[in-house]
Amino acid sequence: MQRDPLDNAWSCFRTFFIHGVGWSFDLDDIAHHFELEAKLMAFWKRRLGDRLLIVPFADMVGKPALWTSNIISHCGLGEEDAVHTPHLTKRRVSTASGLQVRRPINTDGLGVAEPYRSFLRPFTDAIANCTGPIDARGSI
């Protein structure tokens, strides 16, 4: 899954993670982490080619049924009704997105960083200096 880097950075920065995500407290650190992630993704894309399915977040939330079917097909799995209604699961979810998973897939996460763009300048400046690709759609 690849999400707009600015929206993704804002999401990481504003979320209090309990363990292991210390890099999310600093915008320069977020940019560095994203660069490392982009390099890792590029490595696996070179190795795996089309076996690695990269799902654009905006497309997924815009057409969840289509993309869910694409993902299932890519993995060689059979269709099941439940995969199209993940928000109805009864299992316990104890992540930062615990409330979001109880709602149908939606576009609420698109463009969320735009009102904060000027405050996120350290991130956008740091990302501009990265040496690798940040996402499939290009730069911020």
pLDDT tens digits, 56-101:
999 999 999 999 999 999 999 999 999 999 999 888 888 878 888 8
Instruction: Decide if pLDDT at 48 tops 80.
Output: yes
State the Cα–Cα distance between residues 123 and 126, nearest whole angstrom: 5
- Is the separation of the CB atoms in 117 and 35 below 8 Å? no
Domain-by-domain residue ranges, the chain?
5-128
**Mean pLDDT of the region 50-54:** 96
Read off the tokens for 114.
Answer: 């735009």
Q: What residue has token string 């899954």?
A: 1
Q: Quick one: pLDDT at residue 137?
A: 44
**Mean pLDDT of the region 10-25:** 91
- The CA dihedral of 59, 12, 103, 69, to the nearest 10 degrees, is 30
pTM of the model: 0.86
Give 27's Cβ-side CA count (13 Å radius). Answer: 19
Mean pLDDT over the full length of the chain: 91
